[in-house]
Structure 1
Amino acid sequence: MADEEPVSPTGQYMSSSVLNVAFLVVFETLMPIHDSQAITALQSIFLPINPRFSSIMVRDEHGVQKWRKVEVKLEEHLKVPVFPQGLEQYDECLQDYMSSISMEPLTFSKPLWDLSIIKYPTSSAAGTFVFRLHHALGDGYSLMAALFACLKRTDDPSLPLTFLLLLRRKGCHQEEDGGVYFMSF
């Protein structure tokens, strides 16, 4: 097919039988998570950002690996784990879950990513998204740039993202908000 893009040498190496590497990217939310919002965001924002998010790796008749565009079935990429009921915070359950999924290889029969929606509060969040992205999709910088491109500020989507700054630094624009410091990029 003419619309198939070759898999980079790094992508081929990262998806070999010897090495199968994925990133775990964790986004914490201040508000509880609703599945329908996540599905809408995946469909309208995440998938269009990078064609590899809706492609699988295939080998042509000469053994060359290429990316082939496929229809993405979002339900096959979403995981909503169930944790024990009655805990005030689920930090340990979340850590155990992330350890567990980090050991599971992503299947090559569908696009090489999935999203876990954690609907339980932790000590730092009301809900958590855990993206698992295969390293063959890109390097850490390109994948983080793609994920950050999906995010908007809730107070004013036209402004750049603002990140929590744990330590005060000289030379950074900082705003104080109830004792929490933010740095704008």
Structure 2
Amino acid sequence: MKSLGAWVVVFVVLLGMAYGVDHGEVKLGIPVFVWLALNLTVFLFLLARFIGRPLAAFLEARKDGIAGDLKQAKERLVEAETLKAEVLDRLSKVEAEVSEIHQRSETLGQEEAERIAIEGQKEAERLLQRVSEEISQRETETREVLAKETAELTAGLARDLLQKSMTDADRKRVMDRSVEALRPVDREG
């Protein structure tokens, strides 16, 4: 109904315009200005009907498509901003973790170096202790060997000296003393 009223208004306006152009001729019993207004109204109606509606539908669809694309673009922009914020947050966390790992590795490296130095010092002390003990043991062994060899040499020299300087009477006296020293042992046993 609304559309029909609009076309009536268009016809009346065109009729007024056509009346001003030519108002004397008549065709088929109808004045030419009426034909002119009617012809122009029908042309505009057909134009609106067959071109205007599809064009309006196309433009409406295009408008809806653009609005949808704009809405999607806004949503994607919001998503992109969210992702950007998330990535920046993750990046800052990763940078913090890298910094923390770097500090921990430096601390652990220093602690390990100190531990190795202390362990090396302890090992050096143990080695020095072992070397000192080895030196003491070898010194003791060497002294024992030297004492034994000295005793053997002294005994050998004394024996040689005694054999050379001892007379038969001295030998008999030493033998008698040795026998007497053994007798109390035989009596007790």
> TM class by shorter-chain length?
under 0.3
The TM-score with structure 2 as length reference comes to 0.18
The TM-score with structure 1 as length reference comes to 0.18
Higher relative contact order (CA 8 A, sep 6+): 1
- Structure with greater strand percent: 1
Larger radius of gyration: 2
